[in-house]
Amino acid sequence: MPETKDVSIIVSTLLTLLQEKKYPTLKEILVTMNPADIASAFEEMDESRLPVLFRLIPKELAAETFVEMESDSQELLIRGFSDSELKEVLDELYVDDAVDIVEEMPANVVKRILAQADPDLRKDINDILRYPENSAGSIMTIEYVTLRPEMTIKDAILRIRRTGFDKETIYTCYVTSYRKLIGFVTVKDLLLAQDEEILIKDMMDQNVIFANTYDDREEVVQKLSKYNFIALPVVDSDLRLVGIVTFDDAMDVMEDEATEDIEIMAGMMPSEKPYLKSGVFDLFRHRIPWLLLLMVSATFTGIIMTKFENALAAQVVLAAFIPMLMDTGGNSGSQSSVTIIRALSLGELEFQNIIGVIWKELRTAVLCGCALSVACFAKIMLVDRLIMHNPNVTLLVAFTVCLTMILTVMVAKVIGCTLPMIAKKLGFDPAVMASPFITTMVDAISLMVYFGIANLLLFRT
Amino acid sequence: MPETKDVSIIVSTLLTLLQEKKYPTLKEILVTMNPADIASAFEEMDESRLPVLFRLIPKELAAETFVEMESDSQELLIRGFSDSELKEVLDELYVDDAVDIVEEMPANVVKRILAQADPDLRKDINDILRYPENSAGSIMTIEYVTLRPEMTIKDAILRIRRTGFDKETIYTCYVTSYRKLIGFVTVKDLLLAQDEEILIKDMMDQNVIFANTYDDREEVVQKLSKYNFIALPVVDSDLRLVGIVTFDDAMDVMEDEATEDIEIMAGMMPSEKPYLKSGVFDLFRHRIPWLLLLMVSATFTGIIMTKFENALAAQVVLAAFIPMLMDTGGNSGSQSSVTIIRALSLGELEFQNIIGVIWKELRTAVLCGCALSVACFAKIMLVDRLIMHNPNVTLLVAFTVCLTMILTVMVAKVIGCTLPMIAKKLGFDPAVMASPFITTMVDAISLMVYFGIANLLLFRT
């Protein structure tokens, strides 16, 4: 990434100018920069310098930069702001950004923010905070353009020019009648229309795709992405327009949701902080619960091993194949579970598909299991018998291992595809049913199959 | 998801109308629908009906619907089209969509497409096809609005109205001088400006963020998302503007990249087909290579076990703890590797951070390892000794297990964080270094540590 280098050059330039107190030059550089870049540069600096730097930039740019910073820097800045400075920044924020900030701050900072926000903003923030976490309502913004159906295109453009300044997007305008959402027009349609006197109601698209305030934010993102919209309108239970979710917020949600899924799938509690900002204790807290839980569940595997201790003592050679069988089972299961979890979270699969999914996985498992056990048989014959000359690895042992392999892969794939779908149906996060969990289950089952088959083949004869 | 139900209702309505040959009513319904919804409905239908349905809808809507369909349905439709029908659809496509379709089709279909495309489109398609897969050039579109610096706002709006019709977005317009990108303006700026006579060069934003044609598509998405742009301009090596990547294509890339990472992390070859469209043999082909490779690598684990066969035979109780130690090691390692892989793919981490990362993971590992081994010790004392009365589980065995636990977690976390960063540095996909790979390595190491410690503690005394 070229940016990293750029940032460190910028940071050192800014620092030099700051030390030499060349504030006008500093300001000149900062105003040409993009807020996201200023924020990246500021994040690299010593925290004590932030307030000085911040006061150098014009208030609109300052607010935009503020939004782009990490929450701990934001907190620090707010604590450093005077009441009037805080008010100035708040006045420039979009409501959804203000809400995002409020959600991350400790109670005493929130109190100060709400005290300094003007009454309208305070009311809007409180309204949005009432929606459940991860709902469409909680991520929407209320700064959008509405038009009335009886306006002409000319009226509409005038209205956009008059009210568009503080809207998060003007490019899709929503047509409402008694606050109910009845259609939408795009600025492209308005600009490219041949006749300015056409009425909005005659040109608007009445097939409006929208979300409800209580819909999951993941659904919002899927809709927005499916229809390639710049923004998706959000309505309340009476179909009244109450907000919009813009594509840039949707992209952030998409990234967060993917990260969250990946973390949960790897047996971690999801974290919102970027890695370099997370402390060792943060990492510990997010990782230890699953490690402990999974370690304790491995007790069952231990108990199974103990039960077959005599078999093992009689044929120690069996132990040598346990890691391979367990790993292959775990890998097969996690392939299926991860495929299904991703398909569920992209909305490609529903619970009603479960029979078809199991049937497909079962057939795949037979193919994979047979291929694996042929390879495994060849490996045993070649490596263990021909090369290592291990006299304990008999043909029967090889058969035991290969048969266990096929059965384990089948069980693993079926469990791997079934559990996430059941979890989703029961209202849990399917991502929990990924590799670590599946591996622990498959371990226990594969051991039982292994010793079961060994009992039949090796100890009966 | 409510859509699934909607789709099946729509499909059955459409089918009834089709059987009753009520084509005008059918057409009336279809024209009110969104192309993405028509495509979903068409995908559910018997393939033989597609051409008839397709001919019912106006050609612009038909082209938009065509773009939204899966590639196998597209292929089927193209094969069913007459040359003039194919030409009509192609004339309506944006170049980037045409390229996407061409990339998915078999050679003979591509030949027909290129033969029917008009010469300009054919040249454009060929130009874009020359860029490497997954580069900015390969996902860009060339339908954007350019302005000249000496235009007034009024001129600019006139130009947009005249040329905007077939542009993928008009909302960000790029200012070029001798084809070089020198700035950009948004339609919001143009519409909201107070004076129509202001020159573009006096109002444009000169701080243009752009990508190069050969940049990785993942970088394009990261930039677009970082700066919240509707589109990101793409320039060639002489900084000449050659295309743009719009937010909707970026969202698709973001989703694809996350899916690809997740699949690779779970030990699968990435697949582009949605799950329900993938055949059993597809799934097999994508899954078996890693399963085989990992199974063969487990040979090392087997060899280690065989080497310590005598130790195992003397103390069979040791075998009972192997699954728990291996699983905990695997889980610890995959937590670290997955965290690092995700941070790398979001651009939060660079190779230069490697020392800091190892140090952070090592401290986290000590915390996790100690917590786990305390819990493990308690579990052994409680379950194995008090409840199960297993006389073989001595205090020394418990110490051996707990000490191995701490060391395994440390090794696992260090390997887990190091390998993805090294892979990235060497130009490989870091996602390969996820759970399955790490698990296999950690298994072998944890066994060596386990038997090493057992040798010291159990067999020396």
Asked if residue A139 belongs to a domain, the reply is no
Q: Provide the strand spans (E) within A251-344.
A: none
Three-state secondary-structure class, residue A172? strand
**Please, are residues A186 and A171 in contact by the beta-carbon 8 Å criterion?**
yes
Q: Which residues contact B257 (CB under 8 A, 6 or more apart)?
A: B217, B218, B221, B345
Q: Do B34 and A207 touch (CB under 8 A)?
A: yes
Q: Do B360 and A288 touch (CB under 8 A)?
A: no
- Which domain-ending residue is among A103, A134, A165? A134
Q: In whole angstroms, what is the distance from residue A300 CA to residue A307 CA?
A: 11
Q: State the residue range of the domain holding B437.
A: 275-459
> B356 contacts in A (CB within 8 Å)?
276
Q: Do B299 and A251 touch (CB under 8 A)?
A: no
Q: Do B291 and A227 touch (CB under 8 A)?
A: no
Alpha carbon of B176 to those of B26, B224, B229: distances in Å?
Answer: 47, 20, 18
State whether A190 and A125 are in the same domain. Answer: no
Nearest CA to CA, how far is B447 from chain A (Å)?
10
Q: Give tens-digit pLDDT for B82-128.
A: 888 888 888 888 888 888 888 888 888 888 888 888 888 888 888 88
Nearest CA to CA, how far is B112 from chain A (Å)?
29
Asked if residue B139 belongs to a domain, the reply is no
Instruction: Show the tokens assigned to A28.
Output: 């000149």
Q: Do A364 and B287 touch (CB under 8 A)?
A: yes
What confidence tier does A358 reach under pLDDT thresholds 50, 70, 90? very high
Q: In whole angstroms, what is the distance from residue B306 CA to residue A45 CA?
A: 56
Nearest CA to CA, how far is B342 from chain A (Å)?
7
Please tell me the predicted confidence (pLDDT) of residue B304.
84
Q: Do A254 and B250 touch (CB under 8 A)?
A: no
Interface with chain B: mutation pick from A280, A373, A386, highest number of B CBs within 10 Å:
A280
Q: Do B322 and A322 touch (CB under 8 A)?
A: yes
Q: Give tens-digit pLDDT for A405-444.
A: 999 999 999 999 999 999 889 988 888 887 777 888 888 8
Nearest Cα residue to A134 out of A32, A256, A22: A256
- Is pLDDT at A7 greater than 80 in this prediction? no
Please tell me the predicted confidence (pLDDT) of residue A460.
64
Three-state secondary-structure class, residue B159? helix
Alpha helices (H) along A105-152? 107-116, 119-129, 136-139
Q: Give tens-digit pLDDT for A241-282.
A: 999 999 999 999 999 988 888 888 888 888 878 888 888 888
State whether B9 and B127 are in the same domain. Answer: yes
Q: Do B280 and A339 touch (CB under 8 A)?
A: no
What confidence tier does A159 reach under pLDDT thresholds 50, 70, 90? very high
Please tell me the predicted confidence (pLDDT) of residue A6.
66
Q: Do B33 and A171 touch (CB under 8 A)?
A: no
When divided into structural domains, chain B yields a total of 3
> What are A191's strand-pairing partners?
none
Interface with chain A: mutation pick from B161, B281, B287, B363, highest number of A CBs within 10 Å:
B287
Q: Do A263 and B342 touch (CB under 8 A)?
A: yes
Q: Do B324 and A301 touch (CB under 8 A)?
A: yes
Q: In whole angstroms, what is the distance from residue A302 CA to residue A295 CA?
A: 11
Nearest CA to CA, how far is B78 from chain A (Å)?
23
Q: Give tens-digit pLDDT for A189-223.
A: 999 998 999 999 999 999 899 999 999 999 999 99
Nearest Cα residue to A274 out of B360, B355, B158: B360
* CATH number of A330's domain: 1.10.357.20
State whether B304 and B167 are in the same domain. Answer: no
Residue numbers in chain B where pLDDT is lower than 70: 1-6, 460-461
> A305 contacts in B (CB within 8 Å)?
319-320, 322-323
State whether A322 and A441 are in the same domain. Answer: yes
Please tell me the predicted confidence (pLDDT) of residue A241.
94
Q: Do B34 and A287 touch (CB under 8 A)?
A: no
CB pairs under 8 A between A and B: 360
- Of the candidates B230, B261, B287, the beta carbon closest to that of A335 is on B287
Q: Which residues contact A387 (CB under 8 A, 6 or more apart)?
A: none
Asked if residue A318 belongs to a domain, the reply is yes
Exposure string over B244-260, b if 16+ CB within 10 A, otherwise e: bbbbbbbbebbbbbbbb
Asked if residue B269 belongs to a domain, the reply is no
Asked if residue B266 belongs to a domain, the reply is no
Q: Do A375 and B283 touch (CB under 8 A)?
A: no
- Which domain-ending residue is among A110, A134, A158? A134
Nearest CA in chain A to B212: A2
Nearest CA in chain A to B330: A436
State whether A252 and A154 are in the same domain. Answer: yes
> What are B425's strand-pairing partners?
none
> B195 contacts in A (CB within 8 Å)?
none
Distance of CA B377 to the CA centre of its chain: 42
What would the mean pLDDT of A324-345 be, rounded to a whole number? Answer: 89
Higher-pLDDT residue of B5 and A344 is: A344
Exposure string over A340-354, b if 16+ CB within 10 A, otherwise e: bbbbbbbbbbbeebb
The half-sphere exposure of B10 on its side-chain side, counting CA atoms within 13 A, is 20
Nearest CA in chain A to B343: A275
State whether A82 and A167 are in the same domain. Answer: no
Question: Is B84 buried (19+), middle (13-18) or exposed (0-12) by CB count in 10 A?
Answer: exposed
**Please, are residues B219 and B254 in contact by the beta-carbon 8 Å criterion?**
no
Report phi then psi at B46, rounded to 5.
-60, 130
- Is pLDDT at A455 greater than 90 in this prediction? no
Rounded to the nearest 10 degrees, the angle between the axes of helix B322-345 and helix A280-307 is 150
- Of the candidates B224, B295, B339, the beta carbon closest to that of A324 is on B295
Nearest CA in chain B to A32: B207
Nearest CA to CA, how far is B284 from chain A (Å)?
6
pLDDT > 90 fraction of chain A, expressed in percent and rounded: 33
Asked if residue B185 belongs to a domain, the reply is yes
Nearest CA to CA, how far is B347 from chain A (Å)?
7
Question: Which long-range contacts link B94-98 to residues 24+ away (Cβ below 8 Å)?
Answer: B94/B141, B94/B143, B94/B166, B94/B168, B95/B121, B95/B124, B95/B125, B95/B128, B95/B141, B95/B142, B95/B143, B96/B128, B96/B139, B96/B140, B96/B141, B96/B142, B96/B168, B96/B249, B97/B67, B98/B124, B98/B125
Asked if residue A454 belongs to a domain, the reply is yes
Q: Do B187 and A192 touch (CB under 8 A)?
A: no
Please tell me the predicted confidence (pLDDT) of residue B460.
64
- Is pLDDT at A368 greater than 50 in this prediction? yes
> A1 contacts in B (CB within 8 Å)?
219, 222, 347, 350
Q: Which residues contact A103 (CB under 8 A, 6 or more apart)?
A: A129
Q: Do B439 and A324 touch (CB under 8 A)?
A: no
**Please, are residues A78 and A112 in contact by the beta-carbon 8 Å criterion?**
yes
- Which domain-ending residue is among B80, B112, B134? B134
**Please, are residues B45 and B53 in contact by the beta-carbon 8 Å criterion?**
yes
pLDDT > 90 fraction of chain B, expressed in percent and rounded: 33
**CA angle, A132 then A141 then A205, to 5°:** 110
State whether A191 and A43 are in the same domain. Answer: no
State whether B93 and B15 are in the same domain. Answer: yes
State whether A220 and A332 are in the same domain. Answer: no
Q: Do B227 and A36 touch (CB under 8 A)?
A: yes
Please tell me the predicted confidence (pLDDT) of residue A389.
80
**Please, are residues A321 and B302 in contact by the beta-carbon 8 Å criterion?**
yes
Q: In whole angstroms, what is the distance from residue B183 CA to residue A60 CA?
A: 21
Q: Do B303 and A171 touch (CB under 8 A)?
A: no
Interface with chain B: mutation pick from A269, A339, A442, A447, highest number of B CBs within 10 Å:
A339
Nearest CA to CA, how far is A293 from chain B (Å)?
10
Q: In whole angstroms, what is the distance from residue B435 CA to residue B418 CA?
A: 13
- Is pLDDT at A461 greater than 70 in this prediction? no
Number of H helices, E strands in chain B: 22, 6
* CATH number of A214's domain: 3.10.580.10
Q: Do A323 and B447 touch (CB under 8 A)?
A: yes
- Of the candidates B192, B313, B383, the beta carbon closest to that of A316 is on B313
**Please, are residues A370 and A287 in contact by the beta-carbon 8 Å criterion?**
no
Q: Beta-carbon neighbour count of residue B179 at 10 Å?
A: 13
Interface with chain A: mutation pick from B331, B389, B439, highest number of A CBs within 10 Å:
B331
- Of the candidates A227, A302, A388, the beta carbon closest to that of B34 is on A227
Please tell me the predicted confidence (pLDDT) of residue B1.
33
> B225 contacts in A (CB within 8 Å)?
248, 251-252, 255
Name which of A4-13, A46-55, A301-310, A450-459 the model is least confident about: A4-13
Nearest CA in chain B to A249: B228
> A327 contacts in B (CB within 8 Å)?
294-295, 298, 301, 436, 439-440, 443
Nearest CA to CA, how far is B321 from chain A (Å)?
6
Interface with chain A: mutation pick from B256, B262, B390, highest number of A CBs within 10 Å:
B262
Asked if residue A141 belongs to a domain, the reply is no
State whether B119 and B230 are in the same domain. Answer: no
Residue given tokens 């109910």 in the structure block: A180
Q: In whole angstroms, what is the distance from residue A393 CA to residue B6 CA?
A: 59
Q: Do B36 and A227 touch (CB under 8 A)?
A: yes
State whether A285 and A399 are in the same domain. Answer: yes
* CATH number of B126's domain: 1.25.60.10
**Please, are residues B396 and B377 in contact by the beta-carbon 8 Å criterion?**
no
State whether A423 and A280 are in the same domain. Answer: yes
Instruction: Show the tokens assigned to B47.
Output: 């393939």
Distance of CA B312 to the CA centre of its chain: 45
